[in-house]
């Protein structure tokens, strides 16, 4: 039996739910409240030392890290594979997913927290309680980043580099999608799945101006949203409490993002 420790709006959990839906796999969920700190308890950290979702448990075996999990699912349940057969396309797929793990995911965390999620973290907590909550993050670099971003929002030193990193990625993505239907070639793959939650996040924070001159990404995003796995893995899990906060705060900071991009 497949069990997934996840969260409704988490990008990494969305990746895994999209993969499970694409492959038609049944699973049982354990929903974690991230703002309440459900992933920072000693019991959960024993399962997932990074104190994050997702965690997959397959017949008692624990697997962490969303990229590892989605590749594992394709290895362990090879029917309806979502990895290209061609080794070159498969290498390209991994080049895309590796970039998320090596900075892009952290950068979207900076953007989401700096723009909107910080208000949820601070809601009902004193400053000391916010600091104590963030101090439970096990990794020092992440703790320092989330601390500054939560306390300073878009004024944090991490914000501008995060916008620039995603802008660069979107340039690469636009170029690739001008040559291929999907990110790695002719086949929809785990690379397309992996980036779907991040486009959705940009949409939710109203940063779609990033795609004004990137028609191939917009076309890809429309095709992505029309796939059945999008409704199952993302749409049905949308937390309606998050949407107005992300939209309102995102609109407020968009002029600043535009200024960063224009500089
Ligand atoms: N590299 C990890 C990152 C997971 C991650 O950052 N998860 C976030 C949600 S998208 C989380 O659980 N955050 C909770 C927290 O930091 O307290 C993966 O790909 O699984």
Q: Is 66 in the pocket of ligand 1 (CB under 6 A)?
A: yes
Q: Which atom of ligand 1 approaches the CA of 10 most closely?
A: 10
Q: 55: helix, coil or strand? A: strand
Q: Is 4 in the pocket of ligand 1 (CB under 6 A)?
A: no
Listing DSSP states for 49-67 in one string gives: TT--S-EEEETTEEEESHH
Q: Is 196 in the pocket of ligand 1 (CB under 6 A)?
A: no
State the first-to-last Cα distance of the chain, in angstroms, to the nearest integer.
52
Q: Is 10 in the pocket of ligand 1 (CB under 6 A)?
A: yes
Determine the length of the chain.
263
Digit-by-digit pLDDT tens for the chain (263 residues) are 999 999 999 999 999 999 999 999 999 999 999 999 999 999 999 999 999 999 999 999 999 999 999 999 999 999 999 999 999 999 999 999 999 999 999 999 999 999 999 999 999 999 999 999 999 999 999 999 999 999 999 999 999 999 999 999 999 999 999 999 999 999 999 999 999 999 999 999 999 999 999 999 999 999 999 999 999 999 999 999 999 999 999 999 999 999 999 99
Q: 132: helix, coil or strand? A: helix
CA of 12 to the centre of ligand 1 (A): 6
Q: Is 58 in the pocket of ligand 1 (CB under 6 A)?
A: no
Our mutation pick for probing the ligand 1 site, out of 11, 12, 55, 97, counting the most ligand atoms within 8 A of Cβ, is: 12
Q: Which of 157, 131, 120, 156 is nearest to 248 (CA)?
A: 120
- Six-digit token pair at 228? 């059945």
Query: Can you list the domains of the chain with their CATH numbers?
Result: 2-76 (3.40.30.10), 87-262 (1.20.1050.10)
Q: What is the pLDDT of residue 134?
A: 97
Q: Which of 163, 145, 230 is nearest to 202 (CA)?
A: 163
- Whether pTM exceeds 0.95: yes
Q: How far apart are CA 65 and CA 107, in angstroms?
A: 17
Strands in 28-31's sheet, in edge-to-edge order, are 28-31, 2-6, 55-58, 61-64
Q: How far apart are CA 177 and CA 218, in angstroms?
A: 10
Look at ligand 1, atom 11, and give the residue with the nearest C-alpha: 52
Q: Is 194 in the pocket of ligand 1 (CB under 6 A)?
A: no
Q: What is the pLDDT of residue 260?
A: 97
């Amino acid at each position: 039996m497949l069990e997934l420790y996840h969260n409704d709006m988490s990008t990494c959990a969305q990746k895994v739910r999209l993969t499970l839906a694409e492959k038609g796999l049944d699973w049982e969920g354990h929903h974690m409240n991230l703002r309440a700190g459900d992933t920072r308890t000693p019991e959960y950290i024993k399962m997932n030392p990074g104190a994050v979702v997702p965690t997959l448990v397959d017949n008692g075996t624990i697997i962490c890290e969303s990229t590892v999990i989605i590749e594992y699912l394709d290895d362990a349940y090879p029917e309806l594979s979502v990895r290209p057969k061609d080794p070159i396309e498969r290498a390209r797929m991994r080049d895309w997913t590796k970039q998320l793990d090596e900075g892009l995911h952290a950068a979207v965390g900076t953007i989401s927290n700096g723009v909107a999620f910080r208000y949820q973290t601070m809601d009902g907590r004193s400053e000391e309680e916010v600091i104590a909550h963030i101090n439970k993050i096990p990794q020092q670099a992440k703790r320092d980043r989330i601390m500054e971003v939560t306390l300073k929002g878009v004024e944090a030193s991490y914000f501008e580099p995060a916008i620039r990193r995603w802008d660069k990625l979107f340039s690469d993505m636009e170029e690739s999608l001008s040559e291929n239907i999907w990110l790695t070639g002719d086949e929809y793959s785990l690379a397309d799945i992996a980036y779907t939650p991040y486009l959705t996040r940009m949409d939710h924070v109203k940063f779609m101006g990033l795609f004004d001159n990137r028609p191939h990404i917009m076309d890809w995003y429309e095709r992505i949203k029309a796939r059945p796995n999008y409704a199952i893995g993302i749409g049905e899990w949308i937390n309606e409490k998050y949407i107005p906060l992300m939209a309102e705060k995102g609109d407020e900071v968009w002029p600043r993002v535009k200024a960063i991009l224009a500089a």
